[in-house]
Structure 1
């Protein structure tokens, strides 16, 4: 073979190598672009948060994108086709709420079963990836399409996949701060903007001590203290900020045929967070000054509507009348907090 033929073969091999490298680069680029957020948008939802921060709140990995709508909401999606990528979808929306939020009658949006976000932008998140963060009270109504009152919360709902509650709380709080800044009502104090967004996790449901219900000394709901008391509790939050306790009855402990658990018959709270005081005041809950801080004792009691159902169950429960729950709780909390 002459030199010309050899040169042609070398050039052909070089071209094939170059083409192969280019093809691999294209495939790699497509893979990165469609399965990771490396080449994705830096900011999502009109700058509410970064794509990186959104990805941290969603389990697994994949490309993260966001889209806004004319109702003031934003949908964030994570997707990809490589093994290990995870499809997930969350939606954030600004909603005007009634002055009583989160303490609506028989419809509390914060309780002992939820993880509580304390501080100047309080909130609550459940284990399913849903929650809310309140904007500063100076913000007024935002999201007029859903206007109900003069306050605004930024709600988040996980519509597909899984989300880590702690990371989701940080993401939602960050978005709430940006939304407040967009409407010139962000906290003036820089410490509020830099405050921790750590959630206070709810305890696991546990059997109550009938003489020290919810961990409050002197708070007793039992006419007696039976060994098989069905009373169970779940608590969350902090007594320095906002603290919650849910009470329910665990049927197997009664020794009666019914073996399913019921919804809480009472939701109790101590509210000292300044951003929640107006909401508690709207409901006319009992209040006092405790340790120099204005404090409300919030209660939502269903009179054992759901459980126990029969006179026999009520006898087995050996609980005081539901109407006494509020008085006993308030008295014990006042003593525990050294109220005036």
Structure 2
């Protein structure tokens, strides 16, 4: 399916607005301050994102208080957030949980939670991955147990985005009808949550323990296909974020190569550095093509969305990691220091590579999907 990757003047204005906002509220000092906290984000900045820019509800339908926009607009937002290393529960709440709610949840749950997310009043996390190390839905073994008019859950969910601070959890579990989506209140009996020490402290992940925890089934029938789509859409958004981070690393490297003098001339004039920066540029541009193709496919409800998402995640994961590593090399000894921001992007690149499955995982999914 041929897609037109054209941005309008409104898209350019949206990008400029978000970039200006992040320059003020997510500079390096702000990132370092929030990554050192257990919560991992600034509630005041999150409120501003929701109330002033409407970004928390960017892809939430207008009927539920959102902006009702699509994946082209989300692409722009995620690219800029990745560029700024924004510390916020955006990917987990405004993207992943929102997609799961729109795809799977009943009308009452959507009306309740989507309205709160759009207003910036609730952090909602989807818990689907388990300690078996699998990211695909076939790896879900947790089974809901009927009790009275509701259900109970016993088991462990891991790598839950912002799960330690979420006001509500959406837990994927097996039922007699297939895969179901359950709502668990943050104060529910038998629920315990713990922050996972991770390489990338700019994005918080948690382990969720459920012990006879009461849960409400908020979906009907088997939700495997709907959750698969929700994860694919989120993967598209993550690829866009990776592109933003890679672009910033490229800019950092080229700016330094232009100003750092060695033997009386900029190091960028030497062939080794010149070729390295050129290779970084090519890698970033290819990553943009992959991420843009996936997000435009999502915006146009293309039939090959799952394939486009897998391709984008596979390529953008490796591209971001490569460019972040090369950025450190261009900066030389200074690039290895804690004081320089290069390592923050390097750590984000590796953590993002593993989130929702690494490049090899998504290449395998792509190969299975197209019958190779």
| TM bracket, shorter-chain basis | under 0.3
Q: Which structure carries more strand by proportion?
A: 1
Could you tell me the TM-score, scaled by structure 1's length? 0.25
Q: Which structure carries more helix by proportion?
A: 2
Query: Larger radius of gyration, structure 1 or 2?
Result: 1
Q: Which has the higher contact order (CA 8 A, sep 6+)?
A: 2
Could you tell me the TM-score, scaled by structure 2's length? 0.23
